[in-house]
Structure 1
Amino acid sequence: MKLRFALIQLCLFFFFSVPLLAQGDLFTNQETLDLRMKFSIKDMKKNTNDSTYVDQVIWYKNEAGEWEELEVEMRTRGNFRLNNCYYPPMRLKVKKKQRKGTPFENNKSLKLVMPCNRASNADSYVIKELICYKLFDEVSEYTFSTRMVRLHFENEDDKRGEQELIGFLIEDDDDVADRFNAQIVDDKKILGTLLEDSAALRHDLFQLMIGNTDFSGLYKHNQKVMQLDERTVVPLAYDFDMTGLVNPPYAQV
């Protein structure tokens, strides 16, 4: 297990070398972050939805290697993976008072991607999806920041106890917009021909490169649209699991 994580970190280091800064910025530091979570998956799916959160406690490992407690609000998110995967995709919210002085200080809301199922190779698909995000960082400046996490997760419905999983965190779209002094366009349909030429071309060629057809800018499916100024809108791509590069067993293309 330790060798597998070491190889994962080594590969990501060589492909996507990023300076490791102090643990004050969640996404500037690209070391794998250890998180511990414990909840009932059945209850989480039953009691939460796109607008309903439940109070939870998670733990993160600090620079000294010690576990620190963090109060969060948590809910399920998404559609396909929520209905077809054992581990649901999650969204976390952390109140300002709780995140002060933690790696999450600048991030109120985050997406958490977990493996789809409990198969022995499930982590590999998560890693390949994360690599898609990192590759897109090299293609476009308009991207979501991501960070790999090592999840020490205990499902209260399962007698097997704590499991070690690979996942990753995704920056909230409003935080991306803040980085560019822009805003996310959610209430309008934007034709592809209205997108900024270079950004749209880079986006579409990247989607072709990784073999992705599971997106739509017009209908905001796996793609956000960000308005930089009165005349300039650019695409923001996410959710790369159903691509040829990742090719998970549940993919429907």
Structure 2
Amino acid sequence: MKRKIDQVIENNATLANSGSSLLLNPLTAPIMKSFSTLVICLLVSCAAFAAPLEDAPKGGNSLFDRWAKQETLSISLYINMDSLEINRSSADFLPATVLAGGEELALEVAVRGRFRRRTCEMPPMKLKFAKAGLRALGLNTHNDFKLVTHCTSDEAGRDALLREQLAYELYGTINPAASFRTQLLSVTYVNTADGTTEENVAILIEDYDELQDRLALDNCKDCYNATADEITNAEEVALFQYMIGNADYCNTMLRNLKLMTNEAGEKTLVPYDFDFSGLVNADYASVDAQFGQTDVTDRLLKWSFAADCDLTAATAKFLAHQDTLLAQVENYPGLKKASKREITKYLKGFFRELAKGTIAPAK
């Protein structure tokens, strides 16, 4: 049996090095009970990348829709982790296989991000699923996802991932019509180079094209330096970033923000990447010294627009959601009681400021 496993892994490595699009499944080979089953699986894997990749209609359920039905979904990701580590600084994709809910899907994986790809034990990843494999499951072809991985393998790393997922869900409560959907995953990473495994939580962020289709919005190209009066939710996003203590974004250069537009030309911001926020309070997070921040929990209202920051409407909206947001923290599954207490105290401090009307843009 070991010879079979070694042969499959060797074939995968040979194909990856040769640039072939064929993916031999590293998971299925060791557990095959018959030659016919092996042949079927090989044919499915070959078809996944050999089939034409022209876009099919994007209607119907997506892979994200299917996976989002569970609170936490368990998947196994089979990839040559040694090669992934070597490719930390490149954009090259590597062949991989995902097993989820008894279904196998061929995909390609690449390292993404800036800070975390250089410093974290497990680099953040791009997941690009084979469209033919999605079609075979009756799904649409939204196939590009971001995977937010753990930075450290200890309890602190797991806690930081859960806190970041909570931040996404909190903004989803504030503005469900302009937020990324995310799904918490329990991932078993299987290194096809030596068979070793590692398990941790991760966050799956929906395909950006799917976000656009779902919200009936388009990516706003060449929209740098948009004015506040052009953006429907500029104050709301700024106040949310203040609430969670996040200074790691830029309105003018659209860092960690997507700017989208509808047919009428109205623009909407969609924030993401909250790991440097005070709510997450990750060990590796750094401060924005330019604005005098000395601790990541220090709040800054960053407002780079020429127009004055009028928080009247946004304040009313956040106060109306106060009980709901605090209940989300209290009822969040998997988060330690100590973390819930810390986050609740942090958010209550925000709401006290909000009620007093003392929040103003940082200078």
Q: TM (normalized to structure 2)?
A: 0.57
Aligned residue in 1 for 2:131: 96
Aligned residue in 2 for 1:146: 182
- Give, in whole Å, the separation in 2 of the partners of 1:124 and 1:45: 24
- Give, in whole Å, the separation in 2 of the partners of 1:226 and 1:27: 25
- Give, in whole Å, the separation in 2 of the partners of 1:136 and 1:95: 31
Whether 1:208 aligns to 2:242 is yes
- Give, in whole Å, the separation in 2 of the partners of 1:217 and 1:158: 45
Q: Would the aligned equivalents of 1:24 and 1:101 in 2 still touch at CA under 8 Å?
A: no
Q: Secondary structure at the match of 1:121?
A: helix
Q: 1:26 to 1:218 in 2, by over 3 A?
A: farther
Shift of 1:29: 1.4
Q: Secondary structure at the match of 1:100?
A: helix
Q: Deviations over 1:159-191 (max 9, x none)?
A: 8x3222011210122211111222112443133
Q: Secondary structure at the match of 1:134?
A: helix
Q: Would the aligned equivalents of 2:88 and 2:117 in 1 still touch at CA under 8 Å?
A: no
Whether 1:53 aligns to 2:93 is yes
Structure 1: gaps spanning 5 or more residues: 1-20
Of the candidates 267, 285, 291, which is equivalent to residue 251 of structure 1? 285
> Aligned-pair RMSD on alpha carbons?
2.6
Q: Would the aligned equivalents of 1:180 and 1:228 in 2 still touch at CA under 8 Å?
A: no
Q: 1:116 to 1:232 in 2, by over 3 A?
A: same
Q: 1:217 to 1:153 in 2, by over 3 A?
A: same
Q: Give the length in aligned residue pairs.
A: 226
Q: 1:100 to 1:43 in 2, by over 3 A?
A: same
Q: Secondary structure at the match of 1:97?
A: helix
Structure 2: gaps spanning 5 or more residues: 1-60, 288-363
Q: Secondary structure at the match of 1:206?
A: helix
Aligned residue in 1 for 2:158: 123
- Give, in whole Å, the separation in 2 of the partners of 1:234 and 1:164: 37
Q: Structure with the greater relative contact order (CA < 8 A, sep ≥ 6): 1 or 2?
A: 1
- Letter of the 1:250 counterpart: Y
Aligned residue in 2 for 1:72: 107
Shift of 1:138: 0.6
* Greater per-residue strand proportion: 1
Q: Secondary structure at the match of 1:236?
A: strand
Superposition map of 1:39-50 within 5 A: 39-47=79-87
| Higher Cα Rg, which structure | 2
Aligned residue in 2 for 1:7: none
Shift of 1:131: 0.3
* Greater per-residue helix proportion: 2
- Letter of the 2:168 counterpart: Y
Q: TM (normalized to structure 1)?
A: 0.80
Q: Secondary structure at the match of 1:25?
A: helix
- Give, in whole Å, the separation in 1 of the partners of 2:254 and 2:164: 20
